Amino acid sequence: MAYETILYEVDQRVLKITLNRPDKLNALNERLLGELAAAFQAAETDATVRVVVLTGAGRGFCSGADLAARLSGDLDYGETVRRVYNPLVLQMRRLPKPIIGAINGAAVGAGMSLALACDVRLAAENAWF
């Protein structure tokens, strides 16, 4: 699968998933969330992957939901959490391979939820939650 908002790289049995919207501090939009779910599904079925590292491009891990993208209409935040965020976090927790969160910069809101869903978190000196 071709990804636009994440980087998916396997090297020596380690899958590195990088949230790749550095201009938005890796804010989560529908596309990124869908690609992230697809990446974790691919990791689950790929026998060559033993561990997953989740990180963010640029100066932040993840600034949370991309609220600017959501201002264009009615939004039910509760429904979005139930339909999108909760299933992604549950998918991460059920992954039979360990997920290491490499936290750089901000991990805020839903970004902190992603960090907390990792099995292990390694925080850079500039990380904040």
Q: Over the stretch 79-111, which tens digit does the pLDDT of each residue have?
A: 777 777 899 999 999 999 999 999 999 999 999
Question: Which amino acid, one-letter code, is at 29?
Answer: N
Contact 27, 62 (CB under 8 A): yes
Structure tokens at 38: 């697809």
Rounded distance between C-alpha atoms, residue 99 and residue 91, angstroms:
11
Residue 74 has pLDDT above 80, yes or no: no
pLDDT tens sequence across 7-66: 999 999 999 999 999 999 999 998 999 999 999 999 999 999 999 999 999 999 999 999
Judged by DSSP in three states, 81 sits in helix
């927790």: which residue's tokens? Answer: 93
- State yes or no: pLDDT of 73 exceeds 90: no
Model pTM score: 0.93
Closest among 95, 94, 102, 109 to 125, alpha carbons compared: 102
